[in-house]
A and B are shown apart, each in its own frame.
Chain A
Amino acid sequence: DAGVTQSPTHLIKTRGQQVTLRCSPKSGHDTVSWYQQALGQGPQFIFQYYEEEERQRGNFPDRFSGHQFPNYSSELNVNALLLGDSALYLCASSLVVGAPPDTQYFGPGTRLTVL
């Protein structure tokens, strides 16, 4: 059973460019969450997708957008890149939100470097 996969593993962009990161959830999972982990910090919640809609959003600007496809895979798009966007971007998948909350399983991440 494949776990959460992310692509690419590394990416280098320059300021002002746009980037798209991809995530395939663990088999059977329908919810995808994205997190940003700056160097030396804990992950910060960006947003969560369920049934192809954004269900929750963290404190990130509109330059960060996402999408979920019918097969539950997801993309994270970042426009007008800033140096401060350099980070490890983590995708996590889980079953539909509820109580108690399902475990979120994380992928290996995409390391984005903005020059």
Chain B
Amino acid sequence: AQSVTQLGSHVSVSEGALVLLRCNYSSSVPPYLFWYVQYPNQGLQLLLKYTSAATLVKGINGFEAEFKKSETSFHLTKPSAHMSDAAEYFCAVITGTASKLTFGTGTRLQVTL
């Protein structure tokens, strides 16, 4: 069975600081990995996805993530946080021929002045 674990339900950073949101996956077959962002009272927006091409994936709004098979990780980073980045972030996985997304429990990012 596929699963993802997001370490840290809440992360707080200062504006301009590095953002690092952690995601580890469990899968018996090569996974497809996604990061989505959810702003208050809204649906989910795709930030980036890994589909077995380049291991370093660049997404929207300056975010990127690196797929590390040896560490079963897909951590999300952004060099400099902006106030508008405050939101809930979800890591998700799809494996094999399954098409359902399996989500982590989410990490709420707070950005302070």
Contact = CB atoms under 8 A, between A and B. Distances in A.
Contact of B44 (A56, A58, A97, A106): A106
B32 A101 contact: yes
Interface residues of B, number: 24
Interface in B27-45: 32, 34, 36, 42-45
Contacts of A100: 32, 51-52
A35 B36 CA distance: 14
Nearest to B43: A106
Interface in A32-49: 33, 35, 40-45, 48
Given A100-B52, A107-B43, A43 B97 contact: no
B52 A43 contact: no
Interface of A: 4, 31, 33, 35, 40-45, 48, 55-56, 58, 90, 92, 94, 97, 99-101, 103-109
Q: Which 3 A-B pairs have the closest CB atoms?
A: A42-B103, A100-B51, A106-B43
